[in-house]
Every structure is written in structure tokens, then in C-alpha cells.
Amino acid sequence: MYYKVLMEGGHVGAGKSHDMCRYFQAKNLTDIFDLLGKMPRLKSKGFSKSVKLIETISEEEFMKGRHYEMYDAYLTTH
């Protein structure tokens, strides 16, 4: 299944955050939370509190979203 996840990203200054949208392919929601637990740039107040939305999407929307991620300056900066 394909998922769209809206979450709060950190590392943009003290007390500040950045909303980011990521796209994942996983078997179920448990796998999504396993991935999020290892994810960099996620706000450190606990990933379950940083996740704002998890939505099931189509393969087409997943492919468009992954393409968009390649051009997001926040996600591609090391």
C-alpha cells in the first residue's frame, strides 16, 4: 500500500518546526511507524506526536509525491 504522511520536521531553529509531507510504500501502518522511528529530521518530541496525518493514496499519487521529494530543498540538504 502507499501512504502520504504529514509530519513536523525539526532542526530549523530553537522551538521552530517545518511541516513536511513524505510518501511511503509499506504493508501496513505498523511498518510506517517503524520507518518513522528511524527517520532523520523528524521533530524530536516523539515521532507519534510529530505525525499529523497518515493517508492511504494511489500508486499514481505516490509516484508524483516521490518525484516532488527529489526537489524539496529541506529533504535533499545534508
User: 21-36 pLDDT, tens per residue?
Assistant: 889 999 999 998 888 8
Q: Is the full-model pTM beyond 0.85?
A: no
| CB-CB contact of 37 with 12 (8 Å) | no
What SS3 state is found at 60?
helix
Say what the pLDDT of residue 33 is.
85
> What confidence tier does 37 reach under pLDDT thresholds 50, 70, 90?
confident
Sign of torsion over alpha carbons 55, 58, 64, 70: positive
Q: 52-70, pLDDT tens digit by residue?
A: 899 999 999 999 998 888 8
The number of helix segments (H) and strand segments (E) in the chain equals 4, 3
Q: Is the pLDDT of residue 16 over 70?
A: no
Q: Which three cell numbers stand for residue 4?
A: 502520504
